[in-house]
Amino acid sequence: MAFSMMLRRPVCSGPIMQQVMRLATQPAVKPNLTQNTIQSLKSTLLKTETTPIMNSVRSFRTSAVRFAEGKSGDHSKLWVVERVASAALLPLIPLALIAPSKILDSALAIIMVAHSFWGLEAIAVDYVRASIFGPVIPKIAIGLVYLVSIATLGGLFYIITHDVGLANSIRQFWSIKAGQKA
């Protein structure tokens, strides 16, 4: 976070750059450097055409302003819910395998799909940006995340209700011997 805060600041306003500019504008010790030479060097270095990196650093933002202003929700609550769901998976997975039931299988399916949905959604939002792919492809990516999550939850509920259940399916899969062929 400190790095991103540093990148948000204008390049020429930091204490190091102020010191460099102060040193650059002081009278030269050597007789061959004049004040005009220092001023021309300073103006050359600060030109927009010669410093594209400085301009890109000045415009760097870690989040879009329009997203911050447009949404009025408290995202820290979602962060807490995501962490609680992740922590709930730790005891729920062994519990569901030890004592299989439809209730534990359903809770495990819902929390696993929610956990994977939040992860896939974060990947789609972070890496499939409108600034890179245009306005349509990010919407398709989010739609695919929803579609995959709904299909996964539906498939897991089908296994829970019409087959042996989620925990028993995992147990049966683990009990398959490596040398057996179907």
Could you say which DSSP state residue 9 is in? S
Q: How far is CA 45 from CA 10, 12, 20, 38, 52, in A?
A: 15, 11, 12, 11, 11
* End-to-end Cα separation, the chain, in angstroms: 54
162 is in an annotated binding site: no
CA distance 157 to 103: 11
Helix, coil or strand: residue 92: helix
Residues 128, 131, 132, 134, Cα dihedral to 10°: 80
115 is in an annotated binding site: yes
Residues found in the chain: 182
CA distance 180 to 171: 16
Binding annotation for a ubiquinone: 127
Binding annotation for heme b: 115
Binding annotation: 115, 127
